[in-house]
Each structure stands twice: as structure tokens, then as C-alpha cells.
């Protein structure tokens, strides 16, 4: 796998580690883009643990990395940085909202939670479509397994009843 | 041992030696002695807790962590009347309802879309979330005992409850919503915003109370006769 191109020291740079195992190498790689980009390049150019085709090594980026290769001109650098920042914030959000909840009964509220989280961090509106596209770089959401069954609340049938407070007449 | 000491070759050798001495099996799935039937493979748990994994307890919800949804007084009264009709007078809501839950959620989304344009997609997500909760929760926790048979008859497996039921049952969802949302693990800041959105939706229901809610419920027998015709 691609993760093999990075040394353990690079791995330790990754702060966001979603518990889900799916596509972890992609997550890890994209995280590397932020904090360890230079480190990866150094590792690769010095031989490191690479063993990957040369075309991948030329620009120091993996062809599987969610990020585009580094810009050739300095003018597009801020855009690249914001992209990386976006990915890091999303990974941060996924620590709060487990990706498996993107399937199952809570999926819409979890997506809403992610939209609001990013909105707060970047002070701009994020559409559900935009968040889903961003998530798509890390997860094949359709493949995720929900943990709905672990929530007893929605599996144990019970009769509806109003709380007692509803029947207490309020003093005029 | 392996957690307390540094991960070095020498320490790993010590660990293996100790493991062998205490007879710890490397493969935890293999059945061993009296613990073979227990789900737990953690030997350090001790005997007292051996059977705990078998008993599944409903986790206690901390009321402080639940989102508070203030249902407007007129809608609270609607819920009390609904309870009276069904549990004391033996009546039922005639199904299918029009507008149904899907229609109502769509109505509200359209209303918000006019107000805030493209920014309304967070509202759309909340409406979809409510619909998803409703479909899942209706048969599990939104029915009175006397409504269960009607549900079996009116709601075949391939039809979602949100296409059959209306505002009366949707309002009941709001009583259960804090518990459901608890399991979505939404952070507090977002929860405050969500609380405001939900309250706005309830005000919308309140404003349209006369068109969305039934004023009279039907006697169960009447419903059976009319559906047999």
C-alpha cells in the first residue's frame, strides 16, 4: 500500500486518526500533505522506504493523494494551503462525528453537524454537497457500516407515552 | 507490562516469558476453561464481571446533555388531546393522512427556501434527518398500544411511515427527539443552532395547526368498516 512509502516518523505527525479502518492510508496520506509534505519528499529523495515507480517520486506526491501536486508558481500557494487546511479540519470533525454514522438513521444530522463545524472554522457556508465531495476523498460512504443496531433505543419496541409534566395544568 | 515499559526487544522478550509463565493464550478467540462461554476475552477483568457482557443495559442518559426542545403550549395541548383520544376514548387517526409527514417537511423547506435561498440546505438536511428518524422511530416508539394493529394494516413493509402518517405522529417525535439526537453525538455549539431551527419548525406547525392536524379522531370500528368497503 501507499502508506509504506512513509516512515514511522512521518506517521507520528498525523494528529487526526479516525477510528475507522477503511481507506486509512488515504487519510493518512492527505494528513501528511499538511504537516509532513517536506518530510515525505526528503524521505523519498534519499531512498527511504520508497520502492515506488519513479513517476510518483518526481514531484514528491502520491498519485493517490487527495491533494493536487504542489503548485509550480507561488501565486497558487494560498489556495493549496487552504485545501490542506480544509482537509485537516474535516479530519478534526470526523473525530467528533464517527464516519460510520454517515450511514444509518443519524446520517443527516451528522452531515448537518459536519456542515456547521466547517462553517464555524472557515466562517463561510458549506453546502451538504460540498461536504460530501470532501468526504468522498477519504471514504467510500456507501461501504461504511452503520452502528445503528448498537443503539438499543431504536431496536427495543416500547409504547409511546407523554411525560407526566404534560398533564399538569399550569397555574394561570 | 507492555504498556508500562518501553517497546524494546528486551522488554518484549520479558513480556513473552511472563505470558508463557501465566499461560496467556496468544489467540484470544480460542476457548479456554470456564471463560470459554463468556463474550469477554479480557482476563484481567476478574471473575466478578464475567457475566456483565451478556446483560445489555440501556445506557442512562444524562438529562444535562440532552437538547432541550420547548414545545409551544398549544402544541403541548395537541399532544395531550391526542393522548386522550387514543388511550381514553379508544379512537384512532384515520390513515393515510393528508398532508403526510413528507408533505409537511417539504412545505417547511419550501417556506425556508423562500426566506434564505441557497443557505437553506442545512434546513434540508435537518428535514431529511427528521424524516429518517420518523420512519425508524414510528413503529418502535411513537405508537400507543392500541395503534399497533392499525400500523400493521396501513403500513406495508415497502411503504415508509412518513408517507402514511401526518402531523399528529410527527409531533410525538419531538417528545422523543432529545433522546434520539443524543445518539448523533452533536457538539454543543451546533446543538444550540439546531435547537433554534427545531423551534422554528415547531412554530411553523403551530401556525398551520388547523390545516395540519385533525380536529376529530375516528372510532376504531368505523375505520375498519370503511377500509373493508
Q: How many CB atoms lie within 10 A of CB B176?
A: 17
Whether A138 is covered by a domain: the verdict is: yes
The helix/strand/coil state of B219 is strand
Whether A121 is covered by a domain: the verdict is: yes
What pLDDT score does B39 carry?
37
Number of structural domains chain B divides into: 2
Q: Which structural domain, as residue segments, surrounds residue A128?
A: 23-39+79-146
Q: Which structural domain, as residue segments, surrounds residue B39?
A: 9-57
Give yes or no: residues B199 and B88 share one domain: yes
Quote the CA–CA distance of A38 and A52 in Å, as a whole number. Answer: 18
User: ipTM score of the complex?
Assistant: 0.72
Whether B118 is covered by a domain: the verdict is: yes
Q: What is the pLDDT of residues B132-189, one digit of tens each?
A: 999 999 999 999 999 999 999 999 988 999 999 999 999 999 999 999 999 888 999 9
Instruction: Answer yes or no: pTM beyond 0.80.
Output: no
The answer to whether residue B110 neighbours chain A at the CB level (below 8 Å) is no
Whether B2 is covered by a domain: the verdict is: no
The CATH number of residue B223's host domain is 1.10.274.30
Q: Which residues of A touch B143 (CB under 8 A)?
A: 159-160
Q: What is the pLDDT of residues A88-138, one digit of tens each?
A: 999 999 999 988 888 889 999 999 999 999 999 999 999 999 999 999 988
Give yes or no: residues B146 and B205 share one domain: yes
Give yes or no: residues B80 and B132 share one domain: yes
The three cell numbers of residue B92 are: 384512532
Q: How far is CA B42 from the centre of its chain?
A: 32
Closest CA to B102 of B155, B153, B154, B166: B166
Q: What's chain B's length in residues?
A: 229
Whether A63 is covered by a domain: the verdict is: no
Minimal Cα distance from A100: which residue of B? B184
Mutate to test the interface with A, among B66, B148, B186, B198 (most CBs of A within 10 A): B186
Per-chain mean pLDDT for chain A: 66
Nearest Cβ partner for A105 among B136, B144, B186: B136
Q: What is the pLDDT of residues A82-97, one digit of tens each?
A: 888 999 999 999 999 9
Number of structural domains chain A divides into: 1
DSSP letter (8 states) at residue B208:
T
Give yes or no: residues B139 and B202 share one domain: yes
Give yes or no: residues B89 and B71 share one domain: yes
CA trace torsion B12, B13, B19, B25 (10° rounding):
80
Minimal Cα distance from A129: which residue of B? B121
Amino acid at each position: 500500500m501507499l502508506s509504506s512509502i512513509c516512515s514511522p516518523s512521518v506517521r507520528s505527525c498525523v494528529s487526526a486518526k479516525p477510528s475507522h479502518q477503511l481507506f486509512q492510508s488515504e487519510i493518512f496520506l492527505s494528513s501528511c500533505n499538511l504537516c509532513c509534505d517536506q518530510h515525505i519528499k526528503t524521505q523519498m529523495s534519499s531512498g527511504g522506504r520508497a520502492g515506488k515507480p519513479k513517476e510518483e517520486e518526481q514531484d514528491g506526491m502520491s498519485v493517490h493523494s487527495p491533494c493536487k501536486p504542489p503548485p509550480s508558481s507561488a501565486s497558487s500557494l494560498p489556495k493549496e494551503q487552504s485545501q490542506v487546511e480544509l482537509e485537516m479540519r474535516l479530519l478534526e470533525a470526523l473525530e467528533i462525528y464517527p464516519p460510520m454514522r454517515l450511514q444509518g438513521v443519524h446520517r443527516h444530522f451528522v452531515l448537518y453537524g459536519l456542515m456547521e463545524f466547517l462553517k464555524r472554522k472557515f466562517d463561510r457556508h458549506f453546502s451538504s454537497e460540498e461536504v460530501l465531495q470532501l468526504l468522498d476523498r477519504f471514504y467510500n460512504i456507501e461501504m461504511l457500516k452503520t452502528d445503528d443496531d448498537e443503539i438499543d433505543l431504536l431496536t427495543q419496541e416500547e409504547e409511546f407515552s407523554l411525560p407526566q409534566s404534560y398533564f399538569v395544568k399550569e397555574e394561570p | 507490562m507492555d504498556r508500562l515499559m518501553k517497546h524494546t526487544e528486551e522488554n518484549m522478550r520479558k513480556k513473552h516469558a511472563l505470558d508463557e509463565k501465566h499461560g496467556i493464550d496468544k489467540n484470544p478467540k480460542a476457548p479456554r476453561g470456564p471463560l470459554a462461554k463468556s463474550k469477554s476475552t479480557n482476563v484481567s477483568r476478574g471473575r466478578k464481571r464475567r457475566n456483565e457482557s451478556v446483560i445489555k443495559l440501556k445506557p442512562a442518559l444524562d438529562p444535562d446533555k440532552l437538547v432541550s426542545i420547548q414545545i409551544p403550549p398549544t402544541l403541548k395541548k395537541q399532544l395531550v388531546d391526542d393522548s386522550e383520544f387514543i388511550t381514553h376514548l379508544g379512537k384512532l387517526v384515520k390513515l393515510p393522512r393528508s398532508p403526510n409527514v413528507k408533505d409537511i417537511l417539504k412545505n417547511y423547506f419550501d417556506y425556508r427556501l423562500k426566506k434564505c435561498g441557497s443557505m437553506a440546505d442545512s434546513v434540508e438536511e435537518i428535514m431529511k434527518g427528521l424524516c429518517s428518524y420518523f420512519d425508524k422511530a414510528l413503529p418502535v416508539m411513537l405508537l400507543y398500544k392500541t395503534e399497533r394493529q392499525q400500523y400493521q394494516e396501513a403500513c406495508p413493509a415497502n411503504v415508509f411511515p412518513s408517507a402514511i402518517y401526518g402531523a399528529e405522529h410527527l409531533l410525538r417525535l419531538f417528545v422523543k427527539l432529545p433522546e434520539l439526537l443524543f445518539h448523533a453525538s452533536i457538539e454543543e455549539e451546533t446543538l444550540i443552532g439546531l435547537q433554534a431551527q427545531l423551534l422554528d419548525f415547531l412554530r411553523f406547525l403551530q401556525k398551520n395547526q388547523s390545516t395540519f392536524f385533525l380536529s376529530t379522531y375516528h372510532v376504531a370500528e368505523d375505520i375498519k368498516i370503511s377500509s373493508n368497503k
